[in-house]
Every structure is written in C-alpha cells, then in structure tokens.
Amino acid sequence: MKITVNSKVIELHLGARVKDAIHAYYTQAGKKIPRRLPAAEDRFGNSVAPDGELTEGNTIILVTGRRKRGSSLKLIPVIIALGFLSSCSGLRHAGPSPIPDGGDIKTFAPDREAAIFAVNDMHAAIDNFPRLAWIVDSLKSVYPDLLLVAAGDNQTGNPINDQFPEKGWPMIDLMNAVGFRVSAVGNHEFDTGPQGFANLTRKAEFDFICANVTPPATLGVKFSPYRIITLPNGLKIAFLGLLQLGQNGIPDSHPDNVKGFSFRSPFETAREYLWLKDSSDVFIALSHIGFEEDVKLAENLAPALDLIIGGHSHTRVEKEQIHNGILVTQAENKLKYGTLIRLSVSSDGTVHINMQLIDIRNSKKEKPEIRAIVDKYNDNPVLNEVIATASDGFSSYEELGYLMADAQREAAGADIALMNPGGVRIDQLPKGSVTIKNVYQLDPFGNELVVTKLTGEEILSLMRAAWPVDDKSPLYPSGIRIEIITNDRQELSDLKITTGDGSPLEPDRVYTVAMNSYMTQVYKYQHADPGQSLFFTTADALIRYLKKEGTIRSYRGESRVRVQR
C-alpha cells in the first residue's frame, strides 16, 4: 500500500504501522533513523501513535521539536473543579470547546441528556484498568446512566492476556467488571481464532456489534450489526458497528483467523442502515476503520449520522474535529486516554454534542476491586509456562538467531527466513526448560512477521543493503547459506548464496522470504513486492514453533554464514 510521509509517497507492506512508515521514510531519504522517532500527525493535525495501523492513502506528517500538550487533557478532579461536568455546552457538532479559553461557557436547556465514555484500541492494557474504573465511577456520580463503549481492538498486545490458557479472557473479564455496554469488532478481535472469538463473544456481558461482517452460522458468534440503547429518560441511542477491511478484502488479521467469515465494504454497508436515524434519537457509528476513513464516512453519510466514535489508527483527537457537520472522535490506544462525550436532544429533535479528551494513564487514583483482578492476572504464572526443552545450551546471538529464523520460516511457510542481528536481544539460553518469558526476553519488539516474494537478485540486493545498516554484521538465515567476502575497509566485495541442497540461488527465480516488519522498512533494497504481514508477531511465531517442537535440537557450533574479511 502507498502512504504519504511529509509529501513523499512510500510503498509499504500490507498491515504496516506508523513506525514502519517512519523507518521507510528515513531509509529512502538516505538518513539515519533517529533513536527516538519523531512525533507523527495525520493530515488533520491529530497525533497518531507509532503502532497506529495504516490504510491505503493515509498521510503522515512528522513533527520535529517539542510539541505543547493540549490544554484539553485533564484529569477528572481538575475537570470537576472547573465545573465541566455540571454543565452541557456547545451547539450540534459545531459549538465551542467545553472549556473555552476565556469567556463564559455557553449553556442550553436540554430536554434529554446522555453521556458516553469511549475508548479504543485497548490492546490488552490491563494495568490501566484500575484507573479507568475509578474515572468511570467518578463520571457515573455525575452521569448515573453513563455508557461505556469501546471502538474495537480490545485484544492483543500483552502476553498476560494473549498467552492466557483461554486466550483473551482477561480482557473480557475486566471489561465485564468495569461495565462496558457496547464494543465494535476490531481486526485484532479475530486473533483468538474463529472459535476463540466466538467463545469470548458469548462470555461478554456487553454487546459486540459489526454490520459489515457475517460470521459462519455454525460457529455461534454472538454479535449483531447494531445496538439501540434506551436510557431511563427515554432517549434512544443507536450504535452501528463498522470494521476496517484491507486491500485483500479481509481485516488486518491472519487469513486462518477469519475462515468462514464474509466481509463487505463498511461504506456500502453503512448506507443500508441509515434507517436507524428514524428509529433513534441519536445515531452513532462505532467504527474501527481509522480516522481518515471516518472522515470519508462523515462526508458520505451526513446528515444521517450524528457522531462517529472511531478506532484502528490510534489517533489522539484532543480538540473537536467536525467533518461535514459530524463530530469524529478517537482516543489513541492502550487506555492512555478516553473521550467523554456529552450529548443532548432538544424537544425539536436537534442534537447537541461536545467532547473532552480525558487522561487515564496519569490518574493517581484506582478502583481497588479492579486492581485486585489485575493483580490476580499479573500474578498468574503465564510467562513462566514451560513451552519447550533445550537439549543443549545456546551460547551466542548467532545460534539464537538461527533458531528464530527457523521458527519464522516454518510459521510463514516460506522458502527462506532472515533475522537481523539487532533483533536478537540475548546471547545465552541455558540447557533445559524454555519459558514464554525467555521468548519475550529474546524478541521483545513486537515486530510482525512479513512474507515477501523476492527474486534471487532481489535477495542479493537485500543482503547488500543490510550489511552497512547492521554495522557490517551478517543476517541470520534459514533455508540458505551465505558466503560474504569483504575488502580491507570491510565493505562487501562479493556475496554468494546457496540453498539447502547446495545449489546456487537462481537470480530470476521467485522465492518466498519471511522477515520481521522492521527489516522490510529499514533496508533500502530492490524489490517489486512490498510484502504482506501475517498479523502475528515474530515472538508469537517462535512460541508456536517451540510448543510444536517440544525439544529444541542443539545449535551448538552451527554456522550458516561464512565471512572472509
């Protein structure tokens, strides 16, 4: 897919993240990648997180220097002191900020009110749940009928949750305990597999909604296209769920995770549900398609929609974003923030809405009952689970790099796998038990596994590009052997590659090559295929491999690369 970074069009593998785009931008410009990546914004001036997910045609603008934090980011006690919670302000989608700089806060006399607290892309950030729970309880003391909603991607990102015996259950348990009412289906909801996702939807005490997905009838998935909630004051609020689809017609997830599901365009599907406007007082899209796509949705569905609560792109909307008369919100990711949305419907049906971004991460208070649940999960010996036994000790980065490459090649079903030396973070692993914790010590970065179709000549180009980037250290391969000849300045003067049977790499033959997402963006090499993410991490690939193998063979003294200096 093509992404624009600082006016430069960059081609990335499908499933790439914001950080991948930044790496590629510096690499293609011939610049050294900064140790600390610059902040990034979208074309509308919103901050986007480095792990934000991208969609074809997105724009990223790199921000240099320190950026002043928005004045709207306040903790609940500060907001209460300012009187924000006791008044409702702003005209429909275009009113002043709830706490304007100077002047009086405008008010109106609403007939019926509602308050929504929205989060998105929580990615199993269970450690922030006690703070979230305290903030939600504080809001409910002012708004007893507060609706707590999520815009998808509740799952994936924390081994305590992801490696739990019932994968994903800690997040559902905590969402039940805090009192979520509705959640959109995000692409990472499918990471638990079709049956796992179905089981979690049945155990959820809140509603999953998604209109542009049809699950297999036999699976027992419990979600619906929309949900209408009637508040005690009679106000009817309709939520329509929408899910992002990639260029391959499925969400950003491994194809095996969505077997049996059918998908349709979220834009075309949304048009079929415009009747919800006539069946409710407030019509909200609870979407997981990314902020720039939400803006397109607003441009196409006004005036039927009243509000879009979004996710997927990890965008931090600090100030009200009004597009085609519709307020579009998003609160970054991992429960760093949440969006408090206050709305009111006057007697003539006019909808008044405003929003305030609330800082969750820096709250000093927690709900003890939720802290106890989180502590229980964190004390669970998930990371200490023994998943394999090493028949011999590992004593070098090289040996462990070969193990990682072997795991990635098998997980991807590839001809060749390549592991960058900087991605191997420990150089020793003793004989005996190997745990999940060992895997995350070895591979802590969260890079996704990417498969690319490369010719033999393109593989040689990749090797040449990697040599200076990796401080003149060779890649760790699986499926091939490499002979490197350098000159007196340690520059590459010759490079020979042979396949597993000893035959030379064929220049025109196309091979499937697996590598991590970092490598695909930082190596400036010749290639026609940008690649496809498999939507699981290289650490996950190694965990699966080790569980399958059970006993790890000895890699002692193994050498797949010969360097003649």
Whether the per-residue pLDDT at 71 is higher than 50: the answer is no
pLDDT of residue 84: 42
Least confident among 9-13, 105-109, 347-351, 416-420 = 105-109
Handedness of CA 59, 24, 47, 444 (dihedral sign): positive
Considering only CA atoms, which of 157, 507, 565 is closest in space to residue 335? 157
DSSP 352: E
CB contact at 8 A, 343 and 352? yes
pLDDT averaged over every residue in the chain? 91
Residue 429's DSSP bridge partners are 394
Is the pLDDT reported for residue 75 higher than 70? no
Map residue 412 onto helix, strand or coil.
helix
* Residue 123 DSSP SS3: coil
* For residues 14-31, average pLDDT: 92
Residue type, 45: G
3-class SS string, 195-245: HHHHHHHHHCCCEEECCCEECCCCCCCCEECEEEEECCCCCEEEEEEEECC
Mean pLDDT across 45-54: 95
Distance CA 165, CA 182 (A): 25
Pairing, β 262-263 against β 213-214: antiparallel
Confidence of residue 91 (pLDDT cuts 50, 70, 90): very low
Reported in sequence order, the residue ranges of 403-530 that DSSP labels E, i.e. its strands, are 416-419, 432-435, 448-455, 476-478, 480-486, 492-499, 510-516
pLDDT confidence band for 134 (50 / 70 / 90): very high
Torsion angle of C-alpha atoms 182, 321, 82, 343, degrees rounded to 10: -50
Predicted local confidence at residue 561, as pLDDT: 95
* Sequence-distant (≥ 6) Cβ neighbours of residue 366 within 8 angstroms: 130, 131, 133, 134
Q: Residues 349-362: what's their mean pLDDT?
A: 95
What pLDDT score does 80 carry?
44
Beta strand 532-537 pairing with 510-516: unpaired
Nearest to 340 by CA among 299, 292, 307: 307
Q: Are 353 and 342 in contact (CB under 8 A)?
A: yes
For 85-122, give the DSSP string: GG-----TTTS--SS-SSSPPP----SEEEEEEEE---
Angle separating helix axes 397-412 and 538-549, nearest 10 degrees: 90
Average pLDDT for 9-23: 93
Q: Is 88 a residue whose pLDDT tops 70?
A: no
Q: What is d(CA 228, CA 282) in angstroms, rounded to the nearest whole number?
A: 10
Least confident of 81-95, 222-236, 340-354, 451-465: 81-95
**What pLDDT digit, counting tens, does each position of 490-537 carry?**
888 899 999 988 899 999 999 999 999 999 988 989 999 999 999 999
The answer to whether residues 358 and 380 touch, using CB atoms and an 8 Å cutoff, is: no
pLDDT of residue 76: 52
pTM attached to this predicted model: 0.86
Asked if residues 212 and 412 have their Cβ atoms less than 8 Å apart, the reply is no
Helix, strand, or coil here: 346?
A: coil
Q: What is the pLDDT of residue 101?
A: 33
Other beta carbons within 10 Å of 525: 18
3-class DSSP state of 20: helix
CA distance 531 to 417: 13
Compute the Cα dihedral for 371, 373, 374, 376 and give only its sign: positive
pLDDT at 31 over 60: yes
Residue type at 162 in one-letter notation: D
What is the 3-state composition of the chain as percent helix, strand, coil, each rounded to the nearest 5? 30, 30, 45
CB 243 within 8 A of CB 53: no
Confidence of residue 489 (pLDDT cuts 50, 70, 90): confident
Report, as an integer, the average pLDDT of 541-549: 97
For residues 320 and 91, the answer to whether their CB atoms sit within 8 Å is no
Please calculate the CA angle 105-111-116 and round it to the nearest 5 degrees. Answer: 70
pLDDT of 70 > 70? The answer is no
Q: Using an 8 Å Cβ cutoff, are 185 and 263 in contact?
A: no
- pLDDT tens-digit profile of 290-332? 999 999 999 999 889 999 999 999 999 999 999 999 999 999 9
Helix (H) or strand (E) holding 340: strand 337-345
Question: pLDDT digit string (tens) for 163-183?
Answer: 999 999 999 999 999 999 999
- For 31-62, the three-class secondary structure string (H helix, E strand, C coil) is CCCCCCCCEEECCCCCEECCCCECCCCCEEEE
Measured CA distances, 495 to 8, 15, 350, 409, 511 (Å): 32, 31, 71, 22, 18
In the chain, pLDDT over 90 holds for what percent of residues? 82
> Which pLDDT score, from 0 to 100, does residue 66 have?
53
Beta partners for 516?
Answer: 449
How many CB atoms neighbour CB 414 within 10 A?
Answer: 21
Does the pLDDT value for residue 376 go beyond 50? yes
What pLDDT is recorded for position 74?
Answer: 52
Q: Find the mean pLDDT for residues 351-361.
A: 96
From the list 94, 117, 93, 74, the residue with the least C-alpha distance to 339 is: 117
